[in-house]
Amino acid sequence: MIRPIALLTSPLFCLGLAACEPVAGTEGASNGRVTVPESVSSIAASHQDLSTARIDPKDGCFWYTHRGPVETTELPLRTAQGNPICTRPAS
């Protein structure tokens, strides 16, 4: 009787350990952090955390870390009109 229980609980235990793995991009979010220029901070929407802003080398746009009540998420820095703020034009 113990063997079937062990067979069922072993995969669940492994899945439980996998849930403890840090999410990529949240722990190392300070890497690449930049000081946001005054021209960018003047057009950025007010609800965004500019102290965590960084430029993503893949797209050339500013991203910031949003710490919500449930999860921490990387979001694009946007203007008050909702447009992304980038250092180079979209290709």
Please give the backbone phi and psi of residue 40, each rounded to the nearest 5 degrees, phi first.
Answer: -80, -45
pTM for the whole structure: 0.61
The domain limits of the chain are 23-91
Tens-digit pLDDT profile for the chain (91 aa)?
566 666 666 665 555 555 554 544 444 444 566 788 999 999 999 999 999 999 999 999 999 999 999 999 999 999 999 999 998 766 6
Non-local CB neighbours of 80 within 8 Å, separated by 6+ positions? 43, 44, 45, 46
